[in-house]
Chains A and B, each alone.
Chain A
């Protein structure tokens, strides 16, 4: 496999490169021009030197430890879905615009389609598969069922993850606060109104001792 990659004339595209390293979206801002230059400077070298240094990483997903070797261009979403078989996290826009791929990473929500897997080394990740404890659904999951906070269900894992982190910080939110907290998630079926009701119902249950 490694051999095969070396032989390829054009094994990396600028888009791949920029995407793989789009750390800017998660805080580590890199000037786009610099990225482009770096990408260009790699192009003529292609075929001579390995383009990627693969790296072994260890991460915890849903309380289970995984050791994997990742390429810099691999996203956390790809790692979760394609290699760890955790397909509950969905790919919807693949460019950080819709929140369908939202997971919890060290307590905060991230768009896993924009997060390089290589940066997840040593991190603790929760996906929608890991929310229920011993078959007991999380209050947010229960509330989404009870209030019908979905239609096709494809964006639901993302909405649930955003809601969980939001309610951990604020378990008595106003409607406007919920709207703002979920503004990074898109529901194309448009069932927002019932999603708000679900989040309110979950908050109510979470306030109970």
Chain B
């Protein structure tokens, strides 16, 4: 085993989406699908989840629930210091504790954040493993550290890596920014700040590893079974063909479970040493420390606008901190969403001695949208036009602010129209801050852009059995978005069945390949692959039915569990009867092959929020959010709505509550639990109204569907912040908008 590799720092994954999706050259599909013509009965309707009963009865197997004969519990010792040199690690006492079956060292040399793994043990009982951790003797030489962005940016601050703490990672420009400012009637400059957030999925991270000879099986709470398999193979130095990764159900991930985690490697190593299967389940505290976070941002925007609302120039400078990892690219919204000829972006990472960031549902876009949309709100006010009109005025039909390639489909204008009507946009304060009394109301909105494309070469199989049963199989994972259900509905729709007639198999690397569930890629990858396989199966069955019915194949109609003649419906054969004609099970391979290049494929949306602000206490109550999205064809209205509701809740949470708090004195995390790390919960939830633009992307895939994972997470925090601006007449400019910051903003307004 290559020891060095698993001791090294995690892979850089924060720019994963950018590198994967932006202007990606894709393989030209042989035939450009024209999905617009299709009309469906089940696809797009409200379909309850086919695995609902398993979930509500507690029978759905999550990784936490895996039990195996002889299973041992693994625990990891983590460094309590933000920066230290490991002098020695003595495992002997831990190894001698009765019940302990393995103990290994995981780290040597420099430890760069409090929470980094140092050693691990495995024992028959969980409590014994915890006791053993206390018996491990580690001698550290502590070193100066820096855990907040402010300190890390100071002159002479302790250096996190072998390079300065501030590193430029993005430089973009178009047009001539100075010329743009000169053309403007009004130029504004504002600075926005967002806090580090923690994913906190309900199911804490965890893996179970089991060896049988040189074959390894891993049950992992992951968004990427194939990613875990391939990286494990590399790290452990064993063939990928001898690793199976299984994930049936997962309790949330939001990006923190994209790819291989170091504890999974530890489980495999302990299992090898103990010769027994190992289960490692991280605690809530560990989930706070070492499995990712959303980077903070400190964004300054300077922009110019003409009196008629035409944007002339936008400049963004961003300092973003992802701990020992690079920060988030927050500039995508400002580069893309609005027409603007002169634009410049500079982005810098600020390294601190804290856990590495990971993609967090809409990485960079949540922070970037908050700043950009807040800025536009003030800009509109400066020139005295309706902020929605300002956005419509600078509407683009090509990417890179109307200077790039055309969008394949873009329904943002309709999102504006529907959303404004739902919220009653005319009710907003015409002048921000209008109104009297302690409690002020306000309305605000924000636009959203994200990718939402599929991964070419995603595979899916449809298997027909002689007894009439049907399986659809894909090595994808359902992370709570209803993947199983739309796989069943697409198959059922295409073969004239009901979703309950279809058995769905996912979550195993022995199934056909599919990429990770992240970046809103799952639906536009899996749905077209399933549809492709189902169409091939339907084609085969149509021919078979034609020969049985002695009619021509192109007159065979598939519906309601049977095949019948178009001109003579009584001439029919039941689905089950036709399948009994098969000599053996029959498999059809489907694939998502790609989309034509020359177009930009993006999702769009707009959120409209109404808030109430108490000007004495600084407390904000979000009353309502109206959310409208354009994601091409919706696969299942039921689960799509849930996805949007979740995005709104998390957006409200970001707007009002969420922040990781680091202690500058100890270098440790001050709120590593769900009590002190505040989340929006039941009492904070606004009324919601949701809609989708009735649109089908004409060329992205055979169903014309785009992803929805990220989109609803993006504009809600910004819309809430803008509603607060509309209520108070001053923008809080910092997330979360805790009461103290609201009161400070009001004071800022008073002082002028």
Contact = CB atoms under 8 A, between A and B. Distances in A.
A154 B62 CA distance: 8
Contacts of A155: 202, 251
Nearest to A132: B57
Interface in A1-52: 4, 7-11, 13, 16
Given A73-B127, A97-B674, A145 B53 contact: yes
A73 B639 CA distance: 41
A190 B647 CA distance: 7
A57 B31 CA distance: 69
Name which of B53, B64, B646 has the most chain A CB atoms within 10 A of its CB. B646
A167 interface: no
A88 interface: yes
A182 interface: yes
A9 B94 CA distance: 11
B252 interface: yes
Contacts of B238: none
Interface in B44-65: 48-49, 52-53, 55-62, 64-65
A38 B681 CA distance: 36
B67 A194 contact: no
Contacts, number: 185
A109 to B, nearest CB: 14
Interface string B622-661: 0000000000000000110111011111100100000000
B646 A189 contact: yes
Nearest to A71: B127
Interface in B680-714: 680-683, 685, 687-688
B683 A180 contact: yes
Given A13-B134, A148-B638, A193-B688, A154 B251 contact: yes
B48 A87 contact: no
Contact of A90 (B59, B203, B250): B203
Nearest to A181: B682
B93 to A, nearest CB: 8
A204 interface: no
B675 interface: yes
Contacts of B649: 187, 189-193
Interface in A128-152: 128-129, 131-132, 137, 141, 144-146, 148, 150-152
Interface residues of B, number: 63
A152 B284 CA distance: 18
B98 A100 contact: no
B679 A188 contact: yes
Contacts of B249: 152-153
Name which of B62, B649, B682 has the most chain A CB atoms within 10 A of its CB. B682
Contacts of B479: 152
Nearest to B56: A141
A148 B639 contact: yes
A112 interface: no
Which bracket fits the contact residues of A?
35 or more
Interface string B140-152: 0000000000000
A92 interface: yes
A160 B674 contact: no
Interface string A62-87: 00000000000100000001100111
A146 B56 CA distance: 11
Name which of A87, A91, A146, A157 has the most chain B CB atoms within 10 A of its CB. A87
B202 A137 contact: no
Name which of B251, B649, B673 has the most chain A CB atoms within 10 A of its CB. B251
Given A152-B202, A180-B683, A193 B645 contact: yes
A108 interface: no
B49 A191 contact: no
B207 to A, nearest CB: 16
Nearest to A98: B674
Contacts of A4: 98-99
A90 B642 CA distance: 22
A188 B58 contact: no
Contacts of B10: none
23 contacts: A10-B131, A16-B127, A90-B64, A91-B204, A98-B202, A98-B674, A127-B58, A129-B58, A141-B57, A144-B55, A148-B49, A154-B201, A154-B251, A155-B202, A183-B681, A183-B682, A186-B202, A186-B674, A189-B252, A189-B649, A193-B649, A193-B685, A193-B688
Interface of B: 48-49, 52-53, 55-62, 64-65, 67, 97-99, 126-127, 130-131, 134-135, 200-204, 249-252, 254, 281, 283-284, 479-481, 638-639, 641-643, 645-650, 653, 673-675, 679-683, 685, 687-688
Given A86-B58, A189-B642, 18 more contacts: A16-B127, A82-B126, A98-B202, A141-B57, A145-B49, A151-B646, A152-B202, A152-B479, A153-B251, A154-B202, A155-B251, A185-B681, A189-B202, A192-B645, A193-B649, A194-B641, A194-B645, A196-B685
- Minimum-distance CB pairs A-B, first 4: A88-B58, A190-B649, A154-B251, A152-B480
Interface of A: 4, 7-11, 13, 16, 73, 81-82, 85-95, 97-98, 100, 127-129, 131-132, 137, 141, 144-146, 148, 150-157, 160, 179-180, 182-183, 185-194, 196
